[in-house]
C-alpha cells in the first residue's frame, strides 16, 4: 500500500492472519505500521470526544477551543513561563499550560454565572 516499502494486499493478509511470522513484511506491519495506525485512531477518538464534551457543555454546536480562549490562554501561560524560567521546554509543559488556561476559564465562567 502506501509508504516507502510497497506491500501487496496478499502480503498484508498473510501477516494479519499469522501465517508468515518470519518475514520482514510481518515485522514492518506488526511493529511499525499497525501500532501507528492504532495510535492515530485512539488519538482521533479522544479528540472527537473532547470536542463533543466542549460543544455540549457550552450548548453550542460550533464551539471550539478558540471560542472560550483556551488556545490564547495556553500561549500566554507558556510565554510567561518561557520568560521567567530557565528549565528545558517540553511538550508536557505545554499541555499543563493549556490545562491551566482551561481551568482558569472554567472557574471564571462559574463565578460569572
Distance CA 37, CA 33 (A): 6
Query: By C-alpha distance, which of 22, 31, 28, 21 is closest to 7?
Result: 28
* pTM of the shown model: 0.57
Point out the least confidently predicted range of 8-12, 14-18, 48-52, 54-58. Answer: 54-58
Band of pLDDT at residue 42, cut at 50, 70 and 90: very high
Band of pLDDT at residue 1, cut at 50, 70 and 90: low
All three cell numbers of 47, joined, read 479528540
Residue 60 — φ and ψ, nearest 5°? -140, 120
pLDDT for residue 87 is more than 70: no
Band of pLDDT at residue 100, cut at 50, 70 and 90: confident
Amino acid at each position: 500500500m502506501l509508504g516507502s516499502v510497497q506491500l501487496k494486499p496478499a502480503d498484508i493478509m498473510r501477516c494479519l492472519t499469522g501465517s508468515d511470522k518470519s518475514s520482514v513484511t510481518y515485522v514492518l506491519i506488526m511493529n511499525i505500521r499497525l501500532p501507528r495506525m492504532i495510535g492515530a485512531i485512539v488519538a482521533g477518538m479522544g479528540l472527537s470526544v473532547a470536542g463533543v464534551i466542549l460543544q455540549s457543555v457550552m450548548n453550542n454546536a460550533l464551539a471550539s477551543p478558540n471560542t472560550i480562549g483556551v488556545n490564547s490562554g495556553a500561549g500566554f501561560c507558556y510565554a510567561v513561563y518561557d520568560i521567567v524560567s530557565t528549565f528545558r521546554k517540553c511538550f508536557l509543559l505545554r499541555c499543563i499550560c493549556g490545562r491551566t488556561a482551561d481551568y482558569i476559564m472554567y472557574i471564571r465562567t462559574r463565578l460569572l454565572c
